[in-house]
Structure 1
Amino acid sequence: MSKDLFRGTVPYYSRYRVPYPEPLLAKIRTKSALSGQGSLLDLGCGTGEIALRMAPFFRDVTAVDIDPEMLAAAEQKAQKRGIETIQWLNQSAEQFSADTDSFELVTIGAAFHWMDRRTIAERVREWLQPGKPLVVLGYTSIWSGTADWLPLVQTVIKKWLGEKRRAGSGEFPDAIDPHELVLTKSGYTLDEFEYQHPHTWTLDELIGNLYSTSFASPAVLGDKQSAFEADLRKTLLDYNSSGTYQEEMTFYALIATPY
């Protein structure tokens, strides 16, 4: 994962990303049979969404991310909430190392696709305590959601940034194996579940969410940002003048247990 993927996105990331629903996290905790005294490893932790919310259920947490701005925002959140059990490490998932049987749970939230997945999956097997899982989380995006207004958003993005989906200063890879295939090939059994979350976007929230992404951040848009935003606002208001847009989001968790 490149350090510039999310350059300049942190203010939008913290404010406009839709949080993982608590029932999803509760299901993960139940399935993982946590002791309450174990250690959590959160790889690609971003602004700390998972690490901060799971910290009360562990003795300590190690949270790793390559982006120093993301980590600074996460640490600030932790300080405001009085959470002192998290160690924040500014490095890539591939650079991180740990002793055998170190963790009761390893989580990766919507970041696994940026990693060398096979390498990470194989290393995590060694770091996990026997019978404990790696959990990969994610959710529908602008590109995979089913709401009938989403193709309008995609059209505006492609108009201003080209047909190829951006990823920071580069392009998103055309095709990668599904996470499920990578994990099963790496020696895990899978238990997958989903949680449906109805969400209402305002125009400001939707645009802020786009600015939090690797494909439509202010850094990627550059001097096109104002024109892009004006075009998107007009397009969506022409479609629905209320300025609010409904989406049935799907959040998922892949609970992968080494065998």
Structure 2
Amino acid sequence: MPEGWQWDSTLFRGSAAHYTRGRLPYAPGFAGVLADALGLDGRGRLLDVGCGPGTVTLGLARYVAEAVGLDPDEDMLTEARRRAALRGVRNVRWVTGRAEDLPAGLGVFRALVFAQSFHWTERARVAATVPHMLEPGGAFVHVNELKDPPPDPTPLPLPSPPYERIADLVRRRLGPVRRAGRGTLVAGTPDREDLVLERAGFGSCERHVVPAGEVLVREADDIVAWVFSRSDSAPHLFGDGLPEFEREVREVLREAAPDRRFAERPPATEIRIWRNPRGKR
């Protein structure tokens, strides 16, 4: 867990409705790259832990017989069900629960996927449970935005979103330490999943980097949605001051770009795969 913080149910309260619009997409084709790496052939089962509104679950569902999305936030699962219905995806089951609840009677899977969610868990405990839920040859999969990519010197066609100014507004409202549910993240979110998994018996990982997509044009509403999709600026944290805070954000956006249009380079997607240490096919 992040130092000095304990999970609580308010972590993403109010964020689900903003998540899909606000968050930058994973790299195009990431699901196909992952399916090829795992040899997914339409059979078997996949568990997406901390699935949120189902972005990764729905992207991978076509490659397995059944996909299961697990998340403790009921609003996120409601949004996931809505998106699955819109897309006509019928081989997905949505389950309310935390990673620490596993195995939770969910059975055995070809892959357990953590897409930007493992750092919110009691990682050593969860990593020790995962091998018992994997079939022989199955895999623990970590999906994340590629950190520290090489700079792209190509000029953007529009201004970048003023994220630093927005962060200043958040700090002014909520204080200098990052908020997370009812608590704060004094030391930030942890990394080094490789060391956690090594201690759980996993070997070296297989790494894939999926190139980013094209530059995206983002509207002011997209950036506001991004703000409210985050745990450290979730709507509930602002209480009665939420409308005024949103007005401040929109004013900053107007000052940065009078037409309220921005350009962003979406990140590449990094996929890391650790094979089941309990045996091969």
TM-score scaled by length of structure 2:
0.81
Per the alignment, residue 231 of structure 2 pairs with: 214
Deviation at 1:72, TM superposition (A): 2.0
CA RMSD of aligned residues (A): 2.6
Equivalent runs, 1:118-157 vs 2, <5 Å: 118-139=124-145, 149-157=162-170
Which of 187-196 and 129-138 deviates more?
A: 187-196
Deviation at 1:98, TM superposition (A): 6.2
Larger relative CO (CA 8 A, sep 6+): 1 or 2?
Answer: 2
Deviation at 1:29, TM superposition (A): 0.9
Per the alignment, residue 170 of structure 1 pairs with: 183
| Partner SS for 1:130 | strand
| Partner SS for 1:83 | coil
The residue type paired with residue 174 of structure 1 is A
Deviation at 1:230, TM superposition (A): 2.4
Residues 39-64 of structure 1, C-alpha deviations (whole Å, 9 max, x = no match): 11111111111112211111112221
The residue type paired with residue 236 of structure 2 is A
TM-score scaled by length of structure 1:
0.87
Among 192, 196, 212, the residue aligned to 1:196: 212
Report the Cα distance in structure 1 between the residues aligned to 2:9 and 2:83, rounded to whole angstroms.
Answer: 21
Report the Cα distance in structure 1 between the residues aligned to 2:16 and 2:252, rounded to whole angstroms.
Answer: 26
Mark the CA change 1:79 to 1:158 in structure 2 (over 3 Å): closer, same or farther: same
Report the Cα distance in structure 1 between the residues aligned to 2:106 and 2:204, rounded to whole angstroms.
Answer: 20
Give structure 1 stretches of 5+ with no counterpart.
none
Q: Is the 8 A contact 2:119 2:191 kept in 1?
A: no
Mark the CA change 1:33 to 1:84 in structure 2 (over 3 Å): closer, same or farther: same
Which of 168-177 and 34-43 deviates more?
A: 168-177
Which of 176-185 and 156-165 deviates more?
A: 176-185
User: Identity across aligned pairs (percent)?
Assistant: 26
Give structure 2 stretches of 5+ with no counterpart.
1-6, 152-159
Report the Cα distance in structure 2 between the residues aligned to 1:100 and 1:55, rounded to whole angstroms.
Answer: 17
Equivalent runs, 1:10-159 vs 2, <5 Å: 10-97=16-103, 102-139=108-145, 149-159=162-172
